[in-house]
Structures are given as structure tokens and as C-alpha cells.
Amino acid sequence: MPDPILENLRAVHARIADACRAAGRPDGSVTLVAVSKTKPVADLAAALAAGQVDLGENYAQELRDKADDPALRGVTWHFIGALQTNKAKLVAPRATLVHDVDRMELAFELGRRVGATHAGPRTIGVLIGVNIGEEPQKSGVLPKDALALAADFALVPGVRLRGLMCIPPADADPRPHFERLRELRDDGRARGLPLDELSMGMSHDYDVAIACGATLVRVGSAIFGARRRPVPADAHGSPDDPGR
Ligand SMILES: *Cc1c(COP(=O)(O)O)cnc(C)c1O
């Protein structure tokens, strides 16, 4: 019997390649982050065995437990959810990239907790989470404030700013929101800010996101199957309900 996770990964990679081709972008200009939240370690291990190294989690304790599991050695961890400052210590030593950082306090705490390795001090990559639809209930910095925050992040020890991230409003056409995030990124780059990455696109819209310039897509259910609890409309979640 074919392994469904392997089959799904192949299908998602094929669709990413198609979207890159259609947009005139080179193969390999998009990194697939397989979102494994709520899924058992065996499913993640199957993805890893199939060559899927980048995995995303959105709940701090769950990321800690999975990252410390010997069966998942070799994974590059992405933290993609809203993060409480007091949980930064669980994420910072384990994640390579934190996608949804929207305040200085959290950036400082991530940098402080990232820790050193035998190879010297580690840095942690961060993306600024932008509330691109300016929805009152959502976390994320407002678009008009994003580049000022990006400039401030350059001052935070241990933290390396890499780009911007968004989740468009549910039930809306995502394209104008993805385009707006890209314009913001391009404005920031023109001002010399280190904004190479654009994290946008989920199972239902990653091809649109790639057409709009996404460099990281966060795809969960199209790879691992439906989760028991659906992602709520506000997928950023509140700190106590991380949108699982
Ligand atoms: C859960 C989640 C995803 C993946 O959602 P799917 O619809 O399952 O692809 C992407 N980004 C964030 C921030 C999430 O919380």
C-alpha cells in the first residue's frame, strides 16, 4: 500500500514546481514547510524519511517534545504560531526560524534564550508576523508599523531578521493580501532591511502565494491529512489558544 504522506508530499512538490514555472520563478526558490502540529511523531518521521526536513509546529510545548525526540533528529524546526514571551525559552534553542514575531519584547527574549553551541553563539532567524488584513482580533504588527519594527530588530542580539509572514483574512481572496505583503517586503529591501523571505500560503492557497512571491509555504493538511480540530478562522490564535 502506498504511504499517503509520501504520496501527498510528492503531489505538493509537483504543485509547487508548477506554480514556480507558471510564475517564471526558478525551481527551488520556494521552501516547503510541512506543518505537523497535532500529528504523531511517527507521521513526522515518515515525512523526514521521505526527505522533508523542514517541519512547522505552532505550539511551544509540542515543538519542544518533538524536537527532543531522537526519532526526529535532523529536522529543521519552524515555529509558526503566536508565541507567548514566557514560552520563548522552549522554542529558541530548538527552532531555526520563528515565523510570527510581532514585538520587541519577544525578539529580545528569543535572542536571550537561543543559547550557545560548541560552534559558538547560535542565532535564531525570525520573520515579522504582519496583520495584513488589519483584523482587530488578530496578532501581528500592522502593515504601517512593520518596517519600523524590522529596523528595530537589527538591534536585537542573537536574532537575525529574515523576512515577513502573514495569514490573510479567512474567506477573502488571498491574492491582494499576499501582494500587499510582497510590496511591503520590497519597500523594506529598498531601505536596506534584510527581508529575503516571504512566508505565506497554506494548503488551500499556496499556489496563489507562490504566484505572489512566497519563498516559504506552510502546508499542513494537504500533507498530513485533516487535523481533529480544524484551524479556527483566526489561525494566528490568541496566546492561550494557538490556533490548533
Ligand atoms: C496550521 C497552520 C498552517 C497549515 O494549515 P493547513 O491549512 O493545514 O495547511 C499554516 N500556517 C499556520 C500559521 C498554521 O497555524
- Nearest 5°: CA angle at 87, between 193 and 239? 85
221 phi and psi, to 5 degrees?
A: -60, -30
Q: How confident is the model at residue 237 (pLDDT cuts 50, 70, 90)?
A: very low
How large a percentage of the chain has pLDDT more than 70? 91
Quote the pLDDT of residue 100.
96
Three-state DSSP at 154 gives: coil
pTM of full prediction above 0.85: yes
Short-list 102, 162, 98, CA closest to 132: 102
Mean pLDDT of 109-118: 83
Q: All domains of the chain, ordered by start, with CATH? A: 4-219 (3.20.20.10)
For 18-66, the pLDDT digits (tens) are 999 999 999 899 999 999 999 999 999 999 999 999 999 999 999 999 9
Distance, CA of 169 to CA of 164 (rounded, Å): 16
Q: Which residues contact 176 (CB under 8 A, 6 or more apart)?
A: none
Q: Is the CB of 237 under 6 A from ligand 1?
A: no
Mean pLDDT of 131-139: 95
pLDDT at 238: 45
pLDDT of 239 reads 45
Mean pLDDT of the chain: 92
Q: Would you give the DSSP letter of residue 229?
A: S
Mean pLDDT of 203-208: 98
How far apart CA 235 and CA 244 sit, in angstroms, is: 8
Q: Terminal CA-to-CA distance of the chain, rounded, Å?
A: 30
- Grid coordinates representing 96 are 531555526
What single-letter DSSP state applies at residue 142?
A: -
pLDDT of 243: 45
**Per-residue pLDDT tens for 209-227?**
999 999 999 999 999 999 9
For 26, left (φ over 0), alpha (ψ -120 to 50), or beta? beta
- pLDDT grade, residue 107 (50/70/90)? very high
**Closest approach atom of ligand 1 to CA 218:** 10
pLDDT of residue 109: 96
Cβ burial 152-184 (10 Å sphere, 16+ → b, else e): ebeebebbebbbbbbbbbeeeebeebbebbbeb
Q: Work out which ligand 1 atom sits closest to the CA atom of 204.
A: 7
- Report pLDDT digits (tens) over 76-95: 999 999 999 999 999 999 99
Spatial CA neighbour of 162 closest among 100, 119, 116: 100
Cβ of 202 closer than 6 Å to ligand 1, yes or no, is yes
For the cut 50, the answer to whether the pLDDT of residue 242 exceeds it is no
Find, among 209, 165, 164, the residue nearest to 20 by Cα: 209
Residues of the chain by 3-state class (helix, strand, coil), percent to 5: 40, 20, 40
Q: Is the pLDDT of residue 183 over 50?
A: yes
Rounded CA gap, 77 and 75, in Å?
A: 6
Ligand 1 pocket mutation pick from 62, 80, 238 by most atoms within 8 angstroms of CB: 80
pLDDT at 2: 59
139 lines ligand 1 (CB under 6 A): no
